[in-house]
C-alpha cells in the first residue's frame, strides 16, 4: 500500500532534471550540485490543525507545504532545485494523496523543482518538506548584515493571510461577515501563499540582510535586528496593503494585522539607499514589487511608528476582539 502511494506521488511529481542522477526508488537520491555554488537546505513541518485548518483542501495543503519551504530558500536568495517529502497519513487514502501531490506538483513545476525522495508513514496527518537550492558561493542573503542607515523594505503586501484566517473563524468581525468579493482574495493568500523566489534571487547582490515574513513582520524584523546588532524603525503609514484588506477593516485593525499577522511569506529586507532605485525597479519586474517601510538605526529592537513618529504599541488587548 505504501508503495502504491509513493507511485501516485511520483506520477504527479514527474519533473525531470539533469542534475538528479538518481531520484525516487532507491535507498537514497544521488544529486549533482553545480560547481561554484553552495547548497541552501531548509526543512519545515506542517501539522494538521496547527499549520493548516483541519479539513483544508488536500490540494491547498500540498501547495502550502512546499510554498513555506520555498519561501525560506527565497529569503536566502537561493534558486530551488530539489525537494524531499515526508508524509505521515492517518490512513492510506489514495484520493487525499492524489490531490495533495497535484497541489505540490503545481507549485514545484513553477520553480522547476524535482521531488527526489521522502518517506511515507502512518500517524496523525503531518507533512515535512525539505528543499535544496543553489546560491553562488558567498552570495547568500542572511539575517546578519544590516547596517545603520540602510532602508527597510518588504515585497508585495502584508496582512492578507491572517485576515483570510479570520474570515474562516466565528466572532472575528469584521472578517467573519465580509462579502465574497473581499473574502476570496484574502482566503487565497492564506491557502496558497506565493513564495518570493524571483525577488530573493534579484536581491542577492543588493540586499544587506533578508528574512521571510512567516511569524509576523515585527517579530521577523526582530531577528534581523538581533543578528545584525542594530535597531529597526517601521513607519506604520507606509505598510503596503492589498485593495481587499484596505476595504475590509479600519486602519488600526489593519496596521495590527500587517505588523503582527504571520503567514504572508513576503520578504523583508534591508539595503543601502544607493541600491534602492535598482531594487524597486528589479522587484517590480519580478512581479511582486517592494515598498520602503522603515530604516535601520543604532540601538536594538524594532519600533513601529505612526505618522507623528510616536511609537505604536500593539498590546495583547488590541487583539482580544479577534480571540
Position 118 contacts ligand ADP (CB under 6 A): yes
Q: Output phi, psi for 310, to 5 deg.
A: -85, 145
- Of 119 and 311, nearer to ligand ADP (C-beta) is 119
119 near Mg ion, rule: CB under 5 A: yes
H or E element at residue 152: strand 151-155
Q: d(Cα 67, Cα 61) in Å, to the nearest integer?
A: 10
Give the interface size with Mg ion as a residue count (CB under 5 A): 1
What mask of x and - would describe binding to ligand ADP in positions 67 to 86, judged by CB under 6 A? ------------------x-
Helices (H), the chain: 2-12, 58-76, 94-110, 160-167, 180-191, 197-203, 217-228, 243-248, 251-260, 276-285
Out of 43, 45, 110, 120, the only residue in the binding site for ligand ADP (CB under 6 A) is 120
Asked if 103 interacts with ligand ADP (CB under 6 A), we say: no
The number of CA neighbours under 13 Å toward the Cβ of 315 is 4
Structure-block grid coordinates of residue 319: 487583539
Strand partners, 232: 296, 302
Nine-digit cell string for 295? 530604516
In the complex, the smallest distance separating the C-beta of residue 46 from Mg ion, rounded to whole angstroms, is 20
Partners of 132 in beta bridges: 41, 82
Question: Minimum distance between the CB of residue 85 and Mg ion, rounded to whole angstroms?
Answer: 12
> Within 10 A of 238 (CB to CB), how many other CB atoms are there?
15
Window contacting Mg ion (CB under 5 A); options: 67-75, 81-89, 113-121, 301-309: 113-121
CA distance 273 to 308: 23
Q: Please identify which residue in 62, 77, 80, 117 interacts with ligand ADP, judged by CB under 6 A.
A: 117
Instruction: Fill in the per-residue mask, 186 to 215: x = in contact with Mg ion (CB under 5 A), - = not in contact.
Output: ------------------------------
Stretch that binds Mg ion, among 11-19, 34-42, 112-120, 176-184 (CB under 5 A): 112-120
122 near ligand ADP (CB under 6 A): no
Residues 6+ apart with CB under 8 A from 145: 208, 209, 228, 270
Count the Cβ atoms, other than its own, within 10 Å of residue 7.
Answer: 12
113 DSSP 8-state letter: P
Judged by beta carbon, residue 25 or residue 122, the one nearer ligand ADP is 25
Query: Which position among 31, 61, 89, 115 is part of the footprint of ligand ADP (CB under 6 A)?
Result: 115
Query: In the set 26, 180, 250, 320, which binds ligand ADP (CB under 6 A)?
Result: 26
Q: Are 126 and 48 in contact (CB under 8 A)?
A: yes
Interaction of residue 24 with ligand ADP, rule CB under 6 A: yes
- Region from 63-71, 113-121, 160-168, 176-184 binding ligand ADP, contact rule CB under 6 A: 113-121
Q: Which of 74, 179, 185, 86 is nearest to 130 (CA)?
A: 86
> Which of the listed partners (Mg ion, ligand ADP, none) does 24 bind, with a CB threshold of 5 to 8 Å by partner kind?
ligand ADP
Select the binding partner of residue 25 from ligand ADP, Mg ion, none (C-beta < 5 to 8 A, by kind): ligand ADP
- Which residue of this chain has its Cβ atom nearest to Mg ion in the complex? 119
Query: CA 81, CA 76: separation in Å to the nearest integer?
Result: 14
* In the complex, minimum distance from the CB of residue 83 to ligand ADP, in angstroms, rounded to a whole number: 9
Contact residues for ligand ADP (CB under 6 A)? Answer: 6, 9, 24-27, 85, 87, 115, 117-120
Amino acid at each position: 500500500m505504501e508503495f502504491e502511494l509513493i507511485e501516485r506521488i511520483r506520477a504527479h511529481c514527474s519533473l525531470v532534471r539533469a542534475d538528479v542522477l538518481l531520484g525516487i526508488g532507491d535507498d537514497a537520491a544521488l544529486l549533482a550540485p553545480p560547481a561554484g555554488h553552495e547548497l541552501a537546505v531548509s526543512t519545515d513541518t506542517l501539522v494538521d490543525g496547527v499549520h493548516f485548518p483541519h479539513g483544508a483542501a488536500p490540494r491547498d495543503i500540498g501547495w502550502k507545504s512546499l510554498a513555506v519551504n520555498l519561501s525560506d530558500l527565497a529569503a536566502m536568495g537561493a534558486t530551488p532545485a530539489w525537494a524531499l517529502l515526508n508524509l505521515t497519513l492517518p490512513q492510506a487514502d489514495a484520493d487525499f494523496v492524489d490531490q495533495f501531490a497535484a497541489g505540490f506538483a503545481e507549485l514545484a513545476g513553477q520553480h522547476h523543482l524535482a521531488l527526489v525522495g521522502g518517506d511515507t508513514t502512518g500517524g496523525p496527518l503531518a507533512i515535512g518538506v525539505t528543499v535544496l537550492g543553489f546560491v553562488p558561493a558567498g552570495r547568500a542573503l542572511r539575517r546578519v548584515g544590516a547596517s545603520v542607515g540602510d532602508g527597510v523594505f518588504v515585497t508585495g503586501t502584508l496582512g492578507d493571510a491572517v485576515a483570510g484566517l479570520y474570515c474562516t473563524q466565528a466572532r472575528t468581525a469584521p472578517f467573519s461577515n465580509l462579502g465574497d468579493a473581499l473574502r476570496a482574495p484574502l482566503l487565497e493568500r492564506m491557502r496558497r501563499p506565493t513564495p518570493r523566489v524571483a525577488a530573493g534571487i534579484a536581491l542577492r547582490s543588493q540586499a544587506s540582510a533578508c528574512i521571510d515574513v512567516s511569524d509576523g513582520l515585527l517579530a521577523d524584523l526582530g531577528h534581523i535586528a538581533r543578528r545584525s546588532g542594530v535597531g529597526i524603525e517601521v513607519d506604520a503609514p507606509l505598510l503596503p496593503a492589498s485593495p481587499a484588506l484596505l476595504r475590509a477593516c479600519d486602519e488600526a485593525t489593519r496596521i495590527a494585522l500587517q505588523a503582527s499577522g504571520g503567514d504572508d511569506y513576503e520578504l523583508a529586507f534591508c539595503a543601502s539607499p544607493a541600491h534602492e532605485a535598482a531594487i524597486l525597479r528589479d522587484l517590480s519586474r519580478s512581479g511582486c514589487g517592494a515598498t520602503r517601510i522603515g530604516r535601520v538605526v543604532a540601538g536594538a529592537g524594532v519600533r513601529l511608528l505612526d505618522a507623528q513618529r510616536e511609537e505604536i504599541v500593539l498590546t495583547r488587548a488590541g487583539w482580544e476582539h479577534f480571540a
